[in-house]
Chains A and B, each alone.
Chain A
């Protein structure tokens, strides 16, 4: 990799690390350590794919694609490593018992969605445009809208269920 690409990689890493980590944490059901490892895997893949970047999509879309595909094609193989939300780990990093419960409940609910749906709804929660999500996933916007509508209804049910269990 030439020095220009290295500089670009460094810039992408600093700019998009937070975005990748957020998605990773949701995918890993709130497990922070696993999320850090996943984020690192994503950036290893970014490094390997960078020489092939063709500017057909923005860097943000491109990195989202790598994140989603890393979750589905690589990390899925280690599915049994994905644990339920870790109470102690989450609690240590949150302010109060209540915010911990809320967060844990959210990750538990999202974690019950199918993997593709989980990643899709997290991008919606991240306020990524529907057109961009469609571009990341490679499906039509119309298909995506129907899909998101269904995922939202399912997530609402899951959250209500989790609320009943928690409070």
Chain B
């Protein structure tokens, strides 16, 4: 320490340090393997949503374009809204992965925090208004299909289908809300860390 204020603390620190001189727990090869495994896991977590959404889009396209030929203009608008919404969401997922890679852990703490805050601001927007718009567009698209569906299925099945979609919408709305809250909490913590870093008080 460079002054006398905490000389005894420095002595205590050195004592604690020498009593715990640790040796690496993992050997270097295990660590390298673990690093690679974690990198793969992080990549699958990052791209997981995009893959699930892409499969959904492919299934919808197969269904709407090849299996079931909708005739009404309203229906065509409907399924294009559904597919379009999901495609925009997939593009956002890829952009989100790119943004997450802009947080460099080996940068200075001030810059890393700044990058992390920018990323979470972006995520807040994505989980908030953008997701909400895509969500509404998707379900509006779905309900636009119902008049044509009604020509082919009974009213009971139509009601069952619409209510099921409504339940799914409610569950998704809850998940979206939870996501927004988590992003906000994370953002607040990061901003607090930033403040703590630059503050002299």
Q: Which A residues are closer than 8 A to B by beta carbons?
A: 6, 9-10, 13-14, 17-18, 21-22, 25, 30, 32, 35-36, 39-40, 43-45, 47-49, 52-53, 62, 65-66, 68-70, 72-74, 76-77, 93-95, 99, 102-103, 106-107, 114-117, 122, 124-125, 127, 130, 135-139, 143, 146-147, 150, 152-153, 155-156, 159
Which A residues touch B10, using CB under 8 A? 125
Closest Cβ of chain A to B110, distance in Å, is 3
**Is B71 interfacial (CB 8 A cutoff)?**
no
Contact A25 B107 (CB under 8 A): no
Stretch at the interface among B13-21, B157-165, B166-174: B13-21
Contact A45 B108 (CB under 8 A): no
Contact B20 A32 (CB under 8 A): yes
Secondary structure call for the B interface: helix
Secondary structure call for the A interface: helix
In Å, the complex CA distance between A44 and B104 comes to 14
Contact B22 A107 (CB under 8 A): no
Contact A40 B108 (CB under 8 A): no
Contact A106 B6 (CB under 8 A): no
Which B residues touch A77, using CB under 8 A? 186
- Picked from A10, A53, A122, the residue with its CB within 8 Å of the CB of B28 is A10
In Å, the complex CA distance between A167 and B179 comes to 47
In Å, the complex CA distance between A88 and B109 comes to 34
Q: A99 with B15: in contact, given A135-B108, A137-B197 (CB under 8 Å)?
A: yes
12 contacts between A and B (CB under 8 A): A13-B31, A43-B31, A43-B35, A65-B105, A72-B109, A72-B112, A72-B193, A124-B1, A125-B1, A136-B108, A143-B198, A152-B5
Which B residues touch A99, using CB under 8 A? 15, 19
Contact A137 B12 (CB under 8 A): no
Which A residues touch B1, using CB under 8 A? 124-125, 127, 152
- Picked from A13, A93, A116, A137, the residue with its CB within 8 Å of the CB of B20 is A93
Which B residues touch A139, using CB under 8 A? 110, 197-198
In Å, the complex CA distance between A21 and B23 comes to 9
Which B residues touch A115, using CB under 8 A? 193, 196
* Closest A residue, CB atoms, query B32: A47
- Picked from B16, B26, B105, B200, the residue with its CB within 8 Å of the CB of A69 is B105
Q: Which 9 A-B pairs have the closest CB atoms?
A: A138-B108, A138-B110, A47-B35, A49-B106, A125-B13, A146-B200, A44-B35, A103-B16, A116-B196
Contact B196 A117 (CB under 8 A): yes
**Is B25 interfacial (CB 8 A cutoff)?**
yes
